[in-house]
Amino acid sequence: MAGNSDTNKNAVNVREMIAEKKKKKSLSNYTEKFIPTFLLLIASISLLTTVGIIITLFTEAIEFFKRVPVWEFFTGTVLKPMSQNPEFGVLPLINGTLISTFIAMLVAGPIGIMSAIYLSEYASDRVRRVLKPLLEILAGIPTIVYGFFAFTFVTPLIRSIFPEVGATNILSPGLVMGVMIIPMIASLSEDAMSSVPNSMREGAFALGATKLETTFKVVIPAALSGIISSFVLGISRAIGETMIVTIASGSSKNFTFDITQSMQTMTAYIVEVSSGDAPAGSTIYYSLYAVAATLFIFTLLMNILARYLSRKFREEY
Amino acid sequence: MSQKITVKLNDQVVKKTGRQEKKRAVFETNQLNLWYSDTHALKDINLSIKEKEVTAVIGPSGCGKSTYIKTLNRMVELVPGVRTTGEIKYKNRNILDRNFRVEDLRTQVGMVFQKPNPFPKSIYENIAYGPKIHGIKNKKILDEIVEKSLRGAYIWDEVKDRLNENAYGLSGGQQQRLCIARCLAVEPDVILMDEPTSALDPKSTLRIEELVQELREDYSIVIVTHNMQQAARISDKTAFFLNGEVIEFDETDKIFTNPKDSRTEDYISGRFG
């Protein structure tokens, strides 16, 4: 009670307090004006870095193309950078990248989308609350662990069934990369599917549609743009993946479609060359930049494709 | 306009009394109880809904009227933790029986929702969806169904030139008529309408009401409404729900002119709700 009378004595006058504060506002006014500029500067750091990287990439790549004709680089099927008569054909690397990506997506696509369907449409709340975070933890495993797993577990397993498969081959890292990408596709597709409003499902149920019909003919079409984005992101991830293929696919620069053989991807080539001692200024040194620029263009195209597709398949609701 | 409807209503009343003996019940609800987890939402409901009639369900918010019509096509089961006892006989079969396929029930008992919910597809695909999932694939037949259903919902003239455009380009009222057309496309027996006009402007509301008048010739309609004038204008029978119970169920005329229960009178005269 004593406290009560106390407050009464020092009756708080809010209006006066605000007026008092307002006088001191000049400093905060200044901050308010300064903040947007400050934030713009911060935001431009990432932009400027990107621009810087692109400039370096392409100026050095141009240096490379002064020594090796563009045509030869993009159509050559032989890559022998260390040989006496070096040849710089990028096709073996592109081939290795595409094949490993294809194998990975063959695994990650169907499994990812089916997991997403289960999580979004069939799993109870409790199951979803447990499974989804688990899935996302799986996405956080360092890729070197996956690479080791491919090399020391999956490859021997494949070889025990098909002895003709090489100790390093593109199949095993492709499969493991697929497993690595599953959580990404499952999680993003699940997000897309669970953001389809329930009223759509109700509309379909009310017409006598079963759960499966509703899922495949209403929910998936409505979520298609998100699902496609998740696929394209998965592909980008596979193209850019480095450690798994470096460890488990070896460094043979084979130009072949035989998935039991060792192949090298663009990323693995960059690892190999930059961790070896390529003297700065040599053709092999500049070839790094040419391959990196090619890789950059690949992922850029994938991102553009992703935007285009997701816009094209967007169903407005 | 309101005069015209009144005249129409009187016509219906005359016709209705003439035909009354022939009418069979589509839904026979006996001692229906429903719980959402621990909440007792419907208490000992006994209602008999006759075919080719418009039955209005009125009552204040939270009285269980939406729950009741959602039980009629078992959409209420989409809410987790729902339990029911009692029975609802649809053409002499208990639809609450576990062996009753909900898909069969919902094919025959269509539903129109409070907020228009067309699929994010073309107008054509919205209508063709129902027939397609039930196995009708012939393009010519589908074309016919689409036109017939859109005509049935009085929206054909407005959309016939843009059947391939996304349904979300339509106005709210048009979307709701599209949803009614979508429901008609599978030729149900019964159409359940859960406050179909509450999200619409007065003009669209009027069009839906007129549509309901037309549809009663071929369909049995159960409509939940907050709007008592609407119930009075378009229904043959009215059920008044309060706190999960049916307080009164009778001819609409009697409910609105001479209710037996004082609570009904209080509600329709606007004393609460």
A98-156 confidence digits (pLDDT tens): 999 999 999 999 999 999 999 999 998 899 899 888 888 888 889 999 999 999 999 99
Cα separation, A159 vs A169, whole angstroms: 10
The closest alpha carbon to B182, from B126, B132, B137, B220, belongs to: B126
User: Using the beta-carbon criterion (under 8 Å), do A205 and B106 form an inter-chain contact?
Assistant: yes
Q: Name, in order, each residue with C-beta under 8 angstroms of A237's C-beta and a sequence gap of 6 or more.
A: A180, A181, A184
Residue among B120, B179, B182 minimizing CB distance to A316:
B120
Residue A72 lies in a domain: no
Residue A277 lies in a domain: yes
DSSP-derived pairing of the beta strands B25-36 and B82-90: antiparallel
Q: Are B237 and B50 in contact (CB under 8 A)?
A: yes
State the ipTM, two decimals.
0.85
Do A18 and A153 reside in the same domain of the chain? no
- Assign residue B191 a region (left: φ > 0; alpha: ψ between -120 and 50; beta: otherwise): beta
Do both A27 and A104 map to the same domain?
no
What was the pLDDT predicted at B22? Answer: 65
Residue-level pLDDT at B3: 43
Q: What is the CATH number of the domain that holds A252?
A: 1.10.3720.10
Nearest to B90 by CA among B45, B177, B133, B28: B28
A30 and A179 both lie in a single domain: no
Whole-number Å distance between alpha carbons of A172 and A249? 8
Residue A269 covered by a domain: yes
Q: Output the six-digit token pair for B224.
A: 């939940």
> Percent of chain B, pLDDT > 90?
51
Residue A38 lies in a domain: yes
Give domain status of residue A96, yes or no.
Answer: yes
How are the residues of chain B apportioned to helix, strand and coil, as percentages rounded to the nearest 5? 45, 25, 30
What's phi and psi for B121, nearest 5 deg? -130, -175
In a domain, A74, yes or no: no
Predicted local distance difference test score (pLDDT) of residue A1: 44
Whose CA is closest to A166, among A99, A94, A254, A101? A254
- Contact assignment for B166 to A206 by CB distance below 8 Å: no
Beta strands B25-36 and B39-50 are antiparallel
User: Are A159 and A57 part of one and the same domain?
Assistant: no
Average pLDDT over residues A239-247: 89
> If you write DSSP's letter for every residue of B29-77 in order, what string do you get?
EEEEEEEETTEEEEEEEEEEEETT-EEEEE-STTSSHHHHHHHHTTGGG
Read off the pLDDT band of A12 (50, 70, 90).
confident
User: Are residues A127 and A15 part of one domain?
Assistant: no
Residues of B in Cβ contact (< 8 Å) with A207? 106-107, 110, 129-130, 133, 182-183, 186
Paired tokens of A252: 């043979």
> Which residues in chain B have their CB less than 8 angstroms from residue A125's CB?
80
| Total tally of structural domains belonging to chain A | 2
Evaluate whether residue A73 is within a structural domain. Answer: no
Task: Give the confidence band of A3 by pLDDT, cuts at 50, 70, 90.
Answer: very low
Q: Which domain-ending residue is among A42, A67, A92? A: A67
Q: Residue A32: pLDDT band by 50, 70, 90 thresholds?
A: confident
- Host domain of residue A9: 2-67
Angle of helix B202-215 relative to helix B2-19, nearest 10 degrees, comes to 20
What region does A103 belong to: left with phi over 0, alpha with psi -120 to 50, or beta? alpha
CB contact burial B77-98 (16+ within 10 A = b; e otherwise)? eeeeebebebebbbeeeebbee
- Are residues B103 and A125, on separate chains, in Cβ contact within 8 Å? no
Position A309 confidence tier, pLDDT thresholds 50, 70, 90 = confident
Contacts of A204 in chain B (CB under 8 A): 119, 129, 133
Q: Is residue A136 part of a domain?
A: yes
pLDDT of residue B11: 47
Q: Which of A16, A46, A67 is the last residue of a domain?
A: A67
Same domain, A85 and A60: no
Calpha distance A131→A150 (Å, rounded): 24
The reply to whether A191 and A288 lie within a common domain is yes
Measured in angstroms, the CA of B248 and the nearest CA of chain A are apart by 28
pLDDT at B181: 93
Secondary structure (3-state) at B236: coil
Report, as ranges of residue numbers, the positions in chain B whose pLDDT lies below 50. Answer: 1-20
CA-to-CA distance for A154 and A199, rounded, in angstroms? 45
Shared domain check, A145 and A124: yes
Question: What pLDDT band is residue A317 in, cutting at 50, 70 and 90?
Answer: low
Phi, psi (5° rounding) for residue B4? -60, -40
CB contacts of B110 in chain A (<8 Å) are 206-207
First to last CA, chain A: 59
- Assess whether A187 and A53 both reside in one domain: no
**Cβ–Cβ gap A206/B110 under 8 Å:** yes
Place of tokens 């609105």: B256
Instruction: Clarify whether residues A231 and A129 are in a common domain.
Output: yes
Q: Whole-model pTM? A: 0.81
> Are residues A152 and A24 located together in one domain of the fold?
no
Do A28 and A110 fall into the same domain? Answer: no
Establish how many alpha carbons lie within 13 A of residue A184's alpha carbon, considering only the half-sphere containing its beta carbon: 24
